Amino acid sequence: MQEVELLKNTDTVNELLARYGVKFGIYKNNTFKEQLFPFDAIPRIIEKEEFDYLERGLKQRVMALNLFLKDIYSKKQIVKDGILPEDFIFASSGYMAECEGVTPVKDIYSHISGIDLVKGKDGSWYILEDNLRVPSGASYPMIARELCRRSSPETFHDTRLEDNRNYAKLLRKTMDYVNVGGHSVILTPGRYNAAYFEHSYLAEKTGAHLVNGSELRVVDDKLYYEGYDGKLERVGVVYRRISDEYLDPMNFNPESVIGIPHLYDVFRKGNVAIINAPGNGVADDKGIYYFVPKMIRYYLNEEPILNNAPTYLPFYEEDMKYVLENFDKLVLKDVAEAGGYGVVFGSSMTKQQKEDFLTLLKEEPRRFIAQEVIDFQDLDILEEGGPVPRKADLRAFVLMADEPMVWKSGLTRFSRNPDSFIVNSSQGGGFKDTWVLSR
Amino acid sequence: MKKLQFDYFMEIRYTIPAKECHFTIKCMPYTTNRQKISDLKIELLPDNGYTRDNDSFGNQQIYGCVSKTHRDFSFHITGNADVGLSDFEQTECGGIFPVFRYPHGMNCAQDNLKAYFKSLESSLPQAGGYERGVALMHALYRDFHYEKNCTDMNTTAEEAWTLGKGVCQDYAHILIALCHLAGIPARYVTGMLIGEGYSHAWVEIYDGGCWYGLDPTNDLLVTDSHIRIGCGRDALDCMINRGVMLGGGTQTQSIRVNVSEILD
């Protein structure tokens, strides 16, 4: 069995990952700490037919989310037609009034979408959340695959699987498609950012320039890159990980020192593409998640291929009743939080915590969603004593050029704590490569 | 109805030379059904060229960059305004309108403001957004005190209320917060007031298809003494000027605003 060869090399691969700087930076108690993102060599394997099904569902979902964003920042037909209550748009912190009436290049809002899924014990897949604000993570399985191929080439010689190193090609295509003429750049807040490794790796692999804010300048409603010699060269597309409110101190948070003054004005004029477009936060809010299946029916006139986890909105009286009656078997999520924060399980609260939470829930019902706890399929990970089962999810990546493209791989994250369902890397989880079989 | 002439001058002096100075200025009044603007002139110094357009709130803006080294920067905006052509504004905000129903940025009410609203609630008129809004303005004028230099441009409605005193920006943010609590759409407005030496801020509330101007600092309905410049959810959306630059050291900003009546 060739795979055994691969597993024997786990330590080698992890050492190489550390050497290449595959790290995750986190801020805890105001200090910056870099930690390794532990790699587990047992891949998640997805059969071709199963992935074909996921691919259809993911494309459909991302198409609908893009149409939703376009609608929300223009006509708001979905609100007028009573499909979605306006509270969920305008009270959302992700809605940006500044984006009203502004059209991104070629109407694409979410160029890169990271859709988090889990597989239940019954074998069906559920969508857990959508990430439309330049989700990170693709670089980890890319480099892990590269290093695994180097350490145990035979394994890959004998297994028919999709090569995931094409992510850079897909990203390049996505950038080129909206480039208005000029360089492609990857804008990073710098090496103290959680995703710095990813920025530098993607820049290297796509051939885009890795730049920081001070190297970009707006002159006469156009964006330029300023080289060491002071020469200005036009920029046509910016891939950024800076959040909307820090993107441009003249249009958003005036305190931002990492943004580019007037960048948003250049964008409004259609003179540069920004990946992903500003304002996407309104569509990946956990409250909006509930409405995505309705969006698919509304905009595409199709039945959703992939299901949400069963979700309740306490905003609706009927759902509130259900939540109160079934509190102990539900997981509750604060819609404004991300990264595994603001998630509580009804069953694990003390009596006092539960009382406090219920008071808050009744005061601000829009702030929370409740979901059935999905019994996800465990995946084996290698520990000292041998393989042990752990909770894991899958972040699938969908890139949008003239049509949506699903990357035939994905980031499989797992929880190292046997009792935890939370797999976020910011909470100390690890990752696996995701193999999609090609036949 | 009055015929007014206005003159808005702002100058920023730097203690050390500044360069790469990016600016956005939202200080150009525009014609609405309540006011007619004519002979608008814009002067910038140094003038390095600029772009003129509208932001998402419909405000007029000019923006650009002074790249060469300079020690001071100024803009001067003058024109005439016929004001009081009607008692309300019908300026459209298009699809953005619903945002004015929801708390945002500096106008969010916390515990103290919520408690204040509760104490007023029973004395408010039962019906009518306009009547309720005016009653809230009267109450705020009575319970909040005008005092300069105790708040700054980042002070929130809740902070100012807790302090019990502030300037027109604070009055406006608090009134917006109270209106939201009462279910009345409300927005922040910048402008100029006859005679005043500074720019001014007030509130517009929405009722029956029209926006009505309420000036809580003066406990006054906006009729023919106010020239309206722009609006937004809070002060940040329609700040008269914003800038970032390299260098500059300490900045001293001086503003001279003059609005006077043209008598025929």
Residues of chain A below pLDDT 50? 1
DSSP label at A374? Answer: P
Per-residue pLDDT of A211-249, as tens digits, reads 999 899 999 999 999 988 889 999 999 999 889 999 999
> Do B8 and B108 fall within a single domain?
no
For domain A310-372, the CATH class is alpha beta
The ipTM, to two decimals, is 0.93
Burial class (CB in 10 A: 0-12, 13-18, 19+), A195: buried
Domain count, chain B: 2
B149 domain residue, yes or no: yes
Measure Cα distances from A420 to A41, A348, A369, A392, A427 in Å. Answer: 21, 12, 20, 10, 10
> Do B114 and B189 fall within a single domain?
yes
Per-residue pLDDT of A72-121, as tens digits, reads 999 999 999 999 999 899 988 899 999 999 999 999 999 999 999 999 99
> Do B40 and B110 fall within a single domain?
no
With CB atoms and an 8 Å threshold, state whether A218 touches B22: yes
> Do B22 and B100 fall within a single domain?
no
| Helix, strand, coil shares, percent, chain A, to 5 | 35, 25, 35
Instruction: Return the half-sphere exposure (C-beta side, CA atoms, 13 A cut-off) of residue A116.
Output: 23
Rounded to the nearest integer, the mean pLDDT of chain B is: 94
What pLDDT is attached to residue A37?
Answer: 84
Chain A residues near residue B92 by CB distance under 8 angstroms: none
Q: What DSSP element (H or E) covers B261?
A: strand B251-261
Residues B244 and A226: their CA atoms lie apart, in Å, by 18
CB of B24 less than 8 A from some CB of A: yes
> Do B74 and B133 fall within a single domain?
no
With CB atoms and an 8 Å threshold, state whether B102 touches A251: no
CA distance A356 to chain B (A): 17
Chain A residues near residue B51 by CB distance under 8 angstroms: 220-221, 265
Per-residue pLDDT of B121-139, as tens digits, reads 999 998 899 999 999 999 9
CATH number at residue B161: 3.10.620.30
> Do B112 and B200 fall within a single domain?
yes
Sign for the pseudo-dihedral over CA of A200, A202, A205, A211? negative
Provide the b/e sequence for A357-379 (b: ≥16 CB within 10 Å).
beeebeeebebbbbbeebebebb
Q: Which among B112, B34, B26, B18 has a CA at the least distance from the CA of B73?
A: B18
Sign for the pseudo-dihedral over CA of B79, B84, B88, B92? negative
Instruction: Return the half-sphere exposure (C-beta side, CA atoms, 13 A cut-off) of residue A267.
Output: 30
> Do B152 and B77 fall within a single domain?
no
Residues B165 and B177: their CA atoms lie apart, in Å, by 16
CA distance B154 to chain A (A): 11
> Do B27 and B75 fall within a single domain?
yes
Residues A366 and A361: their CA atoms lie apart, in Å, by 8
Closest residue to B51, CB basis, from A100, A221, A249: A221
CA distance A341 to chain B (A): 23
> Do B20 and B146 fall within a single domain?
no
CATH number at residue B61: 2.60.40.2250
Residues 97-116 of B with CB under 8 A from A: 98-99, 101-102
Q: Is A109 helix (H, G, I), strand (E, B) or coil?
A: coil
What pLDDT is attached to residue A1?
Answer: 46
What pLDDT is attached to residue A266?
Answer: 97
Residues of chain B below pLDDT 50? none
Q: Are B234 and B106 in contact (CB under 8 A)?
A: yes
Q: Is A384 helix (H, G, I), strand (E, B) or coil?
A: coil
With CB atoms and an 8 Å threshold, state whether A220 touches B95: no
What pLDDT is attached to residue B39?
Answer: 97
Helices (H), A119-248: 139-151, 153-158, 167-178, 196-206
B168 domain residue, yes or no: yes
CB of B65 less than 8 A from some CB of A: yes
Greatest CA span in chain B, whole angstroms?
A: 60
Name the residue ranges covered by the structural domains of chain A. 2-291+392-436, 310-372
B89 domain residue, yes or no: no
What pLDDT is attached to residue A35?
Answer: 76
Chain B residues near residue A258 by CB distance under 8 angstroms: none
What pLDDT is attached to residue A111?
Answer: 98
> Do B16 and B54 fall within a single domain?
yes
With CB atoms and an 8 Å threshold, state whether A265 touches B57: no
Chain B residues near residue A98 by CB distance under 8 angstroms: 55-56
DSSP label at A21? Answer: T
CA distance B196 to chain A (A): 27
Does the bond joining A249 to the residue before it have cis omega, within 30 degrees of 0?
no
Residues B76 and B12: their CA atoms lie apart, in Å, by 12
> Do B120 and B197 fall within a single domain?
yes
Q: Is B60 helix (H, G, I), strand (E, B) or coil?
A: strand
Strand partners, B23: B64, B243
Burial class (CB in 10 A: 0-12, 13-18, 19+), B116: buried
Residues B124 and B133: their CA atoms lie apart, in Å, by 9
Q: Are A297 and A303 in contact (CB under 8 A)?
A: yes
What pLDDT is attached to residue A191?
Answer: 78
| Helix, strand, coil shares, percent, chain B, to 5 | 25, 45, 35
With CB atoms and an 8 Å threshold, state whether B95 touches A249: no
Beta-carbon count within 10 A of B234 CB: 22
> Do B212 and B168 fall within a single domain?
yes
The domain in which residue B69 lies consists of 2-84+241-261
DSSP label at A242? Answer: S
CA distance A91 to chain B (A): 6
